[in-house]
């Protein structure tokens, strides 16, 4: 603890000196060095975020709190990016004395970083909102989503009634799934629904594993446990590696769902490979899985993709 | 006085590890109770696939609380956790009228098991904050607690989500262990 404190104090004094020295020798400010030097994706964006958050310049701090406020007001949407980011970028370039003529190549990567950083913050709020909505059987929309989940996962069998033992087939606990979403609320249902609708092959593959006579598990309940895992990884920032390396997409709800699908697919793989004796081994294997994912996310170069190789056996 | 303080009272029996077993149907509130005991956030509770275990340490005293999933598929595995149990805690969702019979059947079966013979029983009559919840006395009747002769037992009304009544139940656990040992 003491060593950590000394380190923080040292950093406080040493950092500006180091930055000044590098600025003089490279003629570039820290943000430029990051945008020119670091590989696009998690590495660059995380470093830009860190550099901005450590900044002691008044104008930079104001830009940050302005964008934070915009996120809270739910105005940080792609349509507004131009109006929000153009002035933000020019303020930062002005205070950092970056010549826009000489360094036009700086603007585009820096802009992408800002888009990613604040889209992530926006996503955290959206996910939290969805999580706090309780599944409500009086809400027609909620009910329709639940029934859609059934028809996507078990297309060949109709649900005999809304309250039915059949729900246990896809891994709910009893005859009414409504009490199973609990602390993950609608987020748990939306995650499952996305997996079933956007990755039909992968999800039916995983569902078939969950029905295995010895290595079987409760598909939906495990799914809700994975929702919780994805949620925690998002909140503590570990998921940034995944989100910032997804080059085609900005962090948004769909990307969060994709992250979830990736986790589900990978968990299933690890579970089957572990050859568990029964479902009681879940807690141990789940923990092991989480640690493996956290290790992978700690490497900014990690890129995640579902590699579907449906085995025929 | 927090839960930790009560647990500290257990100091009279140092270096002893206690094993508390939490059972009950799914959605009864076992995990919420476990989190409440460990003073953790109870807003993110999710269904238990398998089991959760938490140890609460207090002055060389270790309280191991085992929370086993309650869904039907898992119940056959409950037995694997019976051995060396010091206190059995059974949680009932008092607002779930449909499954009152199911929960009393499960409890009756537990009480017949050899491995749990004479183990003190604490029943938490949970979810008392809900309008449809039956009072603890009625739950006791449904479960037939007054017919139990081979062990000490107690029923405690509680609301696991905000901690109401949880402390009182644990106080009973404390006293009971002191008498027993």
Q: For A53-103, how does the pLDDT look when each residue is reduced to its tens digit (9 = 90+)?
A: 999 999 999 999 999 999 999 999 999 999 999 999 999 999 999 998 999
Position B1 scores a pLDDT of: 56
Over the stretch B6-53, which tens digit does the pLDDT of each residue have?
666 655 555 578 899 999 999 999 999 999 988 899 999 999 999 999
Q: Which residues of A touch B80 (CB under 8 A)?
A: 280
Buried b (16+ CB within 10 A) or exposed e, A228-266: bbbbebbeeeebbbbbbbbeeebbbeebbbbbbbbbbbb
Distance (Å) from the C-alpha of residue B130 to the closest C-alpha of chain A?
15
Pairwise CB contact (< 8 Å): A281 & B51: no
Residues of chain B neighbouring A184 (CB-CB closer than 8 A): 44, 46
Q: How do residues A165-181 score in pLDDT, each as one tens digit?
A: 999 999 999 999 999 99
The span from the CA of A170 to the CA of A218, in Å, is 7
pLDDT band at A311 (very low <50, low <70, confident <90, very high): very low
For tokens 């929309």, the residue is A141
Which of B47, B70, B75, B99 to substitute to test the interface with A, most A CBs within 10 Å?
A: B47
Residue ranges at the known binding site of B for Mg(2+): 31, 48
> Which residues of B does the annotation mark as catalytic?
71
Minimum CA–CA partner of B81 in chain A: A280
Mean pLDDT over the full length of chain A: 93
Question: pLDDT at position B75, please?
Answer: 94
pLDDT above 60 for B59: no
Residue at B154 is within a domain: yes
For the segment B89-121, what is each residue's pLDDT rounded down to a tens digit?
A: 999 999 999 999 999 999 999 999 999 999 999
Residues within 8 A of B (CB atoms), A 138-167 only: none
- B2 pLDDT more than 80: no
Q: Which chain A residues are Cβ-neighbours of B69 within 8 angstroms?
A: 279
Nearest to B49 among A184, A231, A279 (CB): A279
CB B7 within 8 A of CB B38: no
How far does A2 lie from chain B, in Å, by closest CA? 26
In this complex, do A282 and B77 lie within 8 Å of one another by their Cβ atoms? no
Which of A180, A184, A279 minimises the CB distance to B74? A279
A residues 247-286 closer than 8 Å to B (CB): 278-283, 286
Which of A182, A186, A187, A214 has the most B C-beta neighbours within 10 Å, making it the best mutation to test the interface with B? A182
Instruction: Tell me the average pLDDT across B71-83.
Output: 93
pLDDT band at residue A20 using 50, 70 and 90 as cut-offs: confident
Nearest CA in chain A to B52: A283
Q: How far is A274 from chain B (nearest CA, A)?
A: 15
Total domains in chain B come to: 1
- Tokens found for residue B164: 């109401």
Q: Which residues of B are less than 8 Å from A227 in CB distance?
A: 46
Q: Which residues of B touch A282 (CB under 8 A)?
A: 49-50
CB pairs under 8 A between A and B: 66
Q: What mean pLDDT comes out for the span A216-244?
A: 97
Three-state secondary structure call for residue B164: strand
Question: Which candidate, A153, A271, A108, A231, places its Cα nearest to that of B46?
Answer: A231
The answer to whether residue B180 scores a pLDDT higher than 50 is: no
Sign of CA dihedral A229, A230, A232, A238: positive
Q: Is A4 exposed, middle or buried (0-12, 13-18, 19+ CB in 10 A)?
A: exposed
Looking at CA atoms only, how far is residue A123 from chain B in angstroms? 18
Q: Do A174 and B72 lie within an 8 Å CB cutoff?
A: yes
Between A173, A182, A282, which is nearest B50 by CB? A282
Q: What is the pLDDT of residue A16?
A: 87
Q: What is the pLDDT of residue B41?
A: 93
Query: By residue range, what is the domain housing residue B164?
Result: 3-175
Confirm whether B181 is domain-assigned: no
| Nearest residue, CB atoms, B47 vs list A182, A280, A283 | A182
ipTM of the prediction: 0.86
Contact call for residues B45 and A182 (beta carbons, < 8 A): yes
A241 with A187: CB under 8 angstroms? no
Residue B118 placed within a domain: yes
Non-local CB neighbours of B147 within 8 Å, separated by 6+ positions: none
Q: Is the pLDDT of residue A6 over 70?
A: yes
In tens, the pLDDT along A133-143 reads: 999 999 999 99
- Which of B54, B74, B70, B51 is closest to A282 using CA atoms? B51
Q: Can you give the pLDDT at residue A80?
A: 95
Per-residue pLDDT at A313 exceeds 50: no
Residues 6 or more apart whose CB falls under 8 angstroms from that of A123 comprise A234, A243, A251, A252, A253, A255, A256
The CATH number of whichever domain residue B45 belongs to comes to 3.40.50.300
Task: Quote the minimal CA–CA distance from B40 to chain A in Å.
Answer: 14
Annotated binding site of B: 24-31, 48, 70, 126-129
* Residues B74, A281: C-beta atoms closer than 8 Å: no
Q: Which residues of A touch B71 (CB under 8 A)?
A: 173-174, 218, 221
Across A17-21, average pLDDT: 86
For the stretch A155-165, pLDDT in tens is 999 999 999 99
pLDDT of residue B10: 59
Choice between A307 and B146, residue whose per-residue pLDDT is larger: B146
| Euclidean distance between CA atoms B79 and A43, whole angstroms | 50
Q: What CA–CA distance (Å, rounded) separates A50 from A38?
A: 13
Q: Where are the domains of chain A?
A: 2-131, 136-298
Query: Nearest by CB to A221, which of B49, B53, B77?
Result: B49
Q: What percent of chain B shows pLDDT beyond 90?
A: 76
């Amino acid at each position: 603890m003491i060593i950590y404190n000394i380190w923080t104090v040292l950093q406080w004094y040493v950092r500006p000196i180091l930055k000044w020295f590098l600025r003089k020798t490279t003629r570039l400010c820290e943000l430029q060095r990051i945008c020119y030097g670091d590989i696009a994706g998690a590495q660059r964006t995380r470093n830009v975020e860190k550099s901005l958050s450590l900044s002691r310049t008044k104008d930079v701090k104001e830009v940050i709190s302005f964008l934070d406020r915009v996120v809270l007001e739910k105005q940080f949407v792609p349509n507004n990016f131009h109006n929000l980011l153009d002035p933000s970028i020019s303020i930062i370039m002005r205070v950092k004395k970056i010549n826009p003529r000489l360094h036009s190549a700086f603007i585009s990567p820096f802009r992408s970083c800002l888009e990613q950083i604040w889209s992530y913050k926006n996503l955290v709020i959206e996910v939290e909102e969805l999580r706090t909505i309780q599944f409500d059987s009086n809400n027609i929309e909620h009910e329709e989503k639940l029934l859609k989940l059934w028809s996507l996962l078990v297309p060949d069998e109709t649900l005999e009634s809304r309250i039915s033992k059949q729900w246990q087939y896809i891994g709910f606990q009893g005859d009414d799934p409504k009490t199973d979403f609990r602390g993950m609320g609608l987020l748990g249902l939306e995650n499952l629904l996305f997996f079933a609708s956007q990755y039909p092959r992968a999800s039916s593959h995983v569902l078939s594993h969950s029905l295995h006579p010895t290595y079987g598990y409760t598909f939906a309940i495990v799914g809700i446990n994975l929702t919780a895992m994805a949620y925690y990884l998002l909140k503590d920032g570990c998921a940034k590696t995944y989100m910032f390396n997804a080059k085609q997409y900005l962090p948004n709800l769909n990307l969060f769902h994709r992250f979830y699908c990736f986790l589900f697919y990978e968990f299933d793989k690890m579970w089957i490979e572990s050859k568990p004796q029964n479902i009681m081994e879940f807690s141990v294997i789940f923990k092991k899985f989480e640690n493996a994912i956290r290790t992978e996310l700690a490497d900014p170069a990690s890129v995640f993709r579902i590699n579907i190789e449906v085995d025929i056996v | 006085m927090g839960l930790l303080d009560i647990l500290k009272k257990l100091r009279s029996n140092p270096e002893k590890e206690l094993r508390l077993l939490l059972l009950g149907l799914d959605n009864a509130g076992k995990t919420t109770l476990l989190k409440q005991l460990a003073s953790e956030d109870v807003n993110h509770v999710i269904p238990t696939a398998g089991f959760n275990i938490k140890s609460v340490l207090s002055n060389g005293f270790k309280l191991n609380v085992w929370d086993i999933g309650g869904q039907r598929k898992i119940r056959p595995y409950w037995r694997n956790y019976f051995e060396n149990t010091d206190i059995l805690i059974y949680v009932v969702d008092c607002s779930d009228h449909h499954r009152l019979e199911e929960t009393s059947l499960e409890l009756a079966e537990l009480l017949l098991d050899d491995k749990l013979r004479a183990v003190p029983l604490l029943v938490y009559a949970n979810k008392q904050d809900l309008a449809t919840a039956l009072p603890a006395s009625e739950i006791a009747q449904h479960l037939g607690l007054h017919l139990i002769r081979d062990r000490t037992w107690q029923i405690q009304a509680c609301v696991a989500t905000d901690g109401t009544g949880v402390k009182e139940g644990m106080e009973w656990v404390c006293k009971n262990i002191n008498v027993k040992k």
